[in-house]
Amino acid sequence: PSQTSRSLEADIALLTQLLSGGGSGDPEADGEEVAELLRKLEAAEDIADGMEERLDGIMDNLDDLLSDLEARTGGGQGE
């Protein structure tokens, strides 16, 4: 769990780095940076997809733990 947390934090930091930074103010120079920005956005999307998969796995594990806990405590009385 702590390794996943560190990995998510690293991915968030990388996303922030990829998506930060503004234009130069020069329309011509900014136009040349469009392809680089698109590559960064694609990389950010790939990272976000990986994060989503890991979070889905965490949610599945939590669901399993909750089901086990409910089974041990009498089927979730009081719901």
Residue 13 lies in a domain: yes
Rounded to two decimals, the pTM is: 0.53
Residue 38 lies in a domain: yes
Query: Could you read off the pLDDT of 26-70 as tens digits, one per residue?
Result: 666 666 677 777 888 888 888 899 999 999 999 999 999 999 999
Residue 72 lies in a domain: no
Residue 35 lies in a domain: yes
Kindly report the three-state secondary structure assignment for every residue of 18-73. HHCCCCCCCHHHHHHCHHHHHHHHHHHHHHHHHHHHHHHHHHHHHHHHHHHHHHHC
Say what the pLDDT of residue 13 is. 80
Residue 63 lies in a domain: yes
Q: What is the number of structural domains in the chain?
A: 1
* Domain span holding position 46: 2-18+27-67
Identify residue 58 by its one-letter amino acid code: I
